[in-house]
Amino acid sequence: MTTADRPVIAVSMGDPLGIGPEVVVKALADRHVRARARFLIFGIQQPMMDAAEAAGIDPYWWRMPRGAPEPVAATTSHQDVVLIDDTRFPTDAFASRERTNSKDAGEASFRFVEDAIASARAAPGHPLRAVAVATAPISKTAWSMAGHAQWPGHTELFASRFHAKRTAMMFVSPRLRVLLATTHIPLAQVPDALTLGRVLEKIELAHEACVKLGISKPRVAVCGLNPHAGEDGLLGDDERRVIRPAIDLAREQGLDATGPHPADTVFERALAGKFDVVVAMYHDQGLIPVKTFFRDEAVNVTVGLPAPRTSPDHGTAFDIAGKNMADARSMRCALELAADMVRR
């Protein structure tokens, strides 16, 4: 496959003060990753150069200023990795800055994601058109500081920009797949957010996502919300009132959905191969097992978009940013999964 024939994946650099530049540089330094696709990085040059120098990696990307004329952009078809250098931010804008939440960094990372989404929404034939997006970590606090608090995270922004009515956050790891019924909301709001329609929708999306990942007949396990999945109503009625009826409706559609399962045992069974995906009712219920067993190997996938979107399973890690200590495995897995999903 020639360079020009490979699928194009847009990559947002993430928060310039976090580990995003480092994990992007390290992940794409792997020639095996670059052989699977072409990559357009939306970010800025200096943090990537600093990360490459700290890691002893020779810069391997071709730089193009953001807003370059279309004939210049067309030359990217002959490059494995192209950095779309966002000249709206000064070259040294984030040099020698404290590694913490920042309004300026939040604005920069938000703009990188917006540009990556625009690339994925571009018309066929556009020189910067991508068919998938992989996003490096951002800080939700920094986005809020920059005036973007209406977007709790990537998932919600992608859903809005793609006008996707049904989306979900799913984590894919070597032996465990978990889809979340609710995402970035306070725990106290979860019971009210769990309607029959929402739970049914997430079961359907879990089934559809597994089919797209190559599983012809997915086995979907659905978690309960309460301890012991409610213990027949003794410990809460959410299971009887909402979750079980949603499972029954899914089964009427022919989906292999079971539950509600107690959350303290279902993940062990999924790890043993009894289920293909688990639908968790809230954020930490699903992510604690994923990050316990497969930290730095899991990938966050936004289900329900017209183009694949993946991301590593970790955050900005300000405490180790700039120290060449970040593990790029999850970012590499995110890039590889995006390429695989495009091919499927």
Burial of 77 (0-12, 13-18, 19+ CB in 10 A): middle
Enumerate domains of the chain plus CATH numbers.
3-164+311-343 (3.40.718.10), 168-288 (3.40.718.10)
Q: Which residues contact 176 (CB under 8 A, 6 or more apart)?
A: 267, 270, 271, 278, 289, 290, 293, 294, 298
pLDDT in tens, 83-111: 999 999 887 888 767 899 999 999 999 99
Does the pLDDT at position 3 exceed 70? no
Mean predicted lDDT score pLDDT of the chain: 93
pLDDT in tens, 228-251: 998 888 899 999 999 999 999 999
Please answer whether residues 105 and 86 qualify as being in contact, where contact means their C-beta atoms are separated by less than 8 angstroms. Answer: no
Q: What gap in Å lies between CA 258 and CA 314, rounded to an integer?
A: 30
Please answer whether residues 234 and 226 qualify as being in contact, where contact means their C-beta atoms are separated by less than 8 angstroms. Answer: no
- Sign of the alpha-carbon torsion through 190, 196, 198, 201: positive
pLDDT in tens, 174-201: 999 999 999 888 999 999 999 999 999 9
Quick one: residue 142, left, alpha or beta (phi over 0 = left, psi -120 to 50 = alpha)? alpha
Does the pLDDT at position 288 exceed 90? yes
Strands 299-303 and 168-172: antiparallel
Averaged pLDDT, 128-156: 94
Model pLDDT, residue 2: 59
